[in-house]
Amino acid sequence: MQFKHILAYRLRRLIRAHSTRAGFRHFIVMTTKRILIIEDEANMRHMLEVLLGRSGYEVKSAADGQEGLEVIEGEGFHFILCDIKMPRMDGMAFLRSATDKLKDTTVIMMSAYGTVDTAIEAMKLGAYDYISKPFKADEVLLTLKKAEEREGLKSENLRLKDRIQRIEKSYNFNNIVAKSKAMHSVFDMIKKVADYKTTVLITGESGTGKELIARAIHFNGSRHNGPIVSINCGGIPETLLESELFGYKKGAFTDAKQDKPGRFAEAHRGTLFLDEIGELPLSLQVKLLRVLQDEEITPLGSTGIKKVDARIIAATAKNLGEETKNGHFREDLYYRINVVNIYLPPLRERLEDIPLLTDHFVNHFNSKLKKNIKWVSPQAMEQFMTYPWPGNVRELENVIERAILLAPGNTLEVSDLPPTLKGDLYLPSGLTPDGISSIKIASRILEKELIERALTKTSGNRTKAAKMLEISRPILISKIKDYKLD
């Protein structure tokens, strides 16, 4: 008790001395922050009340932890200064009992009998800081000032985080920029299936962003800490595809100089993305089906089997239903991979995303190419909104990269766009503003006209026409059937 009287006396002298100095003014906190002092020694409690009251705090006090609990039941505080050694209920017991009520309150502990272990225990229970007695008035005020600055930064970070989350929620989902209703339905489906191992088939035209959707499923699910491994089933020769998928043992063939794990093994406890699965040869479709059913692989040149745990996401631009009818894709494999289907609409069916994507790509290529494009002219944006985009988002990205690279000023003009986008070259004859009222219908008319022109120029050669239109041959064939251009 004698020690606390001495400490209170020192605090009283410090308050009187500092309050007459100009140098103490920077400690005066012009604020209405509320603070609760929990201290059993009356003199010490009084001195802290005077000190903090003069510093601009709204002060309330309690004689022990039990009384402190009763006070916080009905009132909220920004800060609590709490002694550790007290009768009835000490500071540690107060912290344990008040945890649920102190989520938005900063607690600073005080004690003359504390140790490092005591301080650590107090921090674990939720205390922000620890002051050892005897302390100077400056120490208390500086600790509170530091805590207040931290709370300010924390609040600002939360506001910024909330703002970013609201923006991302509105227009961005895992690097997929969109605000159309169709794409937000896709986002909702991703959230529903991400945590489950269920096989997902992503369908849609080339360039719609199927791999981005696969990555969004992976990184939003329970396997996000595992690997995501991709393989393009149409980009690897059939003779090599089996070894790429399942791996091989040393000596399995001439160039097999060492063991190599396949993509299935690499995706263990993660996700395997099978892009363009519609291009998978029939001979490998049988083996893939067996792996999906048994979750076992046999590397080339091996006699043993190996268990694999990989979530399968497949994607295709083909109509696999039609492919199965034509005998080009196994029906049992189709049903095995098509447990959940996510369809990505083409860009021409979600025109409201075009301005948003344009802005995103302009910012991206400004940074990448060290350019300073600030605007897209209304005429250029009009071309973007009426062009059918057979190559979808990928084509839009390529067009904007080219335009930014070639633009002489800080505005993208129609003159900076490739010839295929300039109205005179692609508008079908007979189409006038008065002749059509639907952008969707106009897009289909334009697309059909482009396909007809490409087929005419190439004398019906579908491979050359697909290259001219910058779409894949299977997509072109599908569109020819759709528009009855056979």
**Range of lowest pLDDT (25-29, 74-78, 368-372):** 25-29
Residue 275: its H or E element: strand 270-275
pLDDT higher than 90, residue 342: yes
CA distances in angstroms from 253 to 24, 241, 245, 288, listed in the order given: 83, 14, 16, 21
Last residue of a domain, one of 312, 345, 378: 345
Residue 160 forms part of a structural domain: no
- Same domain (yes/no): 205, 332: yes
Residue 83 forms part of a structural domain: yes
Residue 356 forms part of a structural domain: yes
Q: What is the CATH number of the domain that holds 454?
A: 1.10.8.60
Q: Which residue in the block uniquely carries the two structure tokens 């205390």?
A: 127
pLDDT higher than 80, residue 156: no
What's at 273, amino acid-wise? F
Last residue of a domain, one of 155, 184, 209: 155
220 DSSP 8-state letter = T
pLDDT higher than 50, residue 28: no
Of the chain, the end-to-end C-alpha distance in Å amounts to: 102
Q: Which of 321, 350, 322 is nearest to 209 (CA)?
A: 350
- Same domain (yes/no): 67, 208: no
- Same domain (yes/no): 296, 369: no
Q: What is the CATH number of the domain that holds 180?
A: 3.40.50.300
**Range of lowest pLDDT (230-239, 354-363, 420-429):** 420-429
- Same domain (yes/no): 471, 396: yes
Global pTM exceeds 0.75: no
State which residues form the domain around 48.
2-155
Residue 110 forms part of a structural domain: yes
Q: Which residues contact 294 (CB under 8 A, 6 or more apart)?
A: none
At 188, is the pLDDT very low, low, confident or very high (cuts 50, 70, 90)? very high
Answer with the residue of higher pLDDT: 180 or 9.
Answer: 180
- Same domain (yes/no): 340, 378: no
- Same domain (yes/no): 331, 183: yes
pLDDT higher than 80, residue 41: yes
HEC states along 50-116?
A: HHHHHCCCEEEEECCHHHHHHHHHHCCCCEEEEECCCCCCCHHHHHHHHHHHCCCCEEEEEECCCCH
- Same domain (yes/no): 51, 128: yes
At 137, is the pLDDT very low, low, confident or very high (cuts 50, 70, 90)? confident
Q: Which of 323, 308, 310, 239 is nearest to 276 (CA)?
A: 323
**Distance between CA atoms of residues 151 and 157, nearest Å:** 10
Q: Which of 130, 153, 151 is nearest to 77 (CA)?
A: 151
At 439, is the pLDDT very low, low, confident or very high (cuts 50, 70, 90)? low
Answer with the residue of higher pLDDT: 4 or 154.
Answer: 154
Establish whether the linkage from the previous residue to 355 is cis, with ω within 30° of 0: no
**Range of lowest pLDDT (44-53, 130-139, 319-328):** 130-139
Tell me the backbone φ, ψ of residue 311, rounded to 5 degrees.
Answer: -80, 130
Q: Which of 93, 63, 84, 183 is nearest to 131 (CA)?
A: 84
Indicate left, alpha or beta for 204 from its phi (over 0: left) and psi (-120 to 50: alpha).
left
pLDDT tens digits for 381-396? 988 988 999 999 999 9
Q: What is the CATH number of the domain that holds 79?
A: 3.40.50.2300
Question: Structurally, how many domains does the chain consist of?
Answer: 3
Residue 166 forms part of a structural domain: no
Last residue of a domain, one of 314, 345, 376: 345
**Distance between CA atoms of residues 237 and 370, nearest Å:** 39
- Same domain (yes/no): 303, 183: yes
**Distance between CA atoms of residues 149 and 111, nearest Å:** 24
Residue 222 forms part of a structural domain: yes
Residue 202 forms part of a structural domain: yes
Half-sphere exposure of 153 (CA within 13 A, CB side): 6
Beta bridge partners of residue 131, listed in sequence order? 110
pLDDT higher than 70, residue 445: yes
pLDDT higher than 70, residue 1: no
Q: Determine the 3-state secondary structure of 239 from DSSP.
A: helix
- Same domain (yes/no): 224, 306: yes
Residue 257 forms part of a structural domain: yes
H and E: helices and strands count for the chain: 20, 18
- Same domain (yes/no): 138, 7: yes
- Same domain (yes/no): 131, 151: yes
Average pLDDT over residues 338-362: 93
- Same domain (yes/no): 477, 451: yes
Indicate left, alpha or beta for 370 from its phi (over 0: left) and psi (-120 to 50: alpha).
left
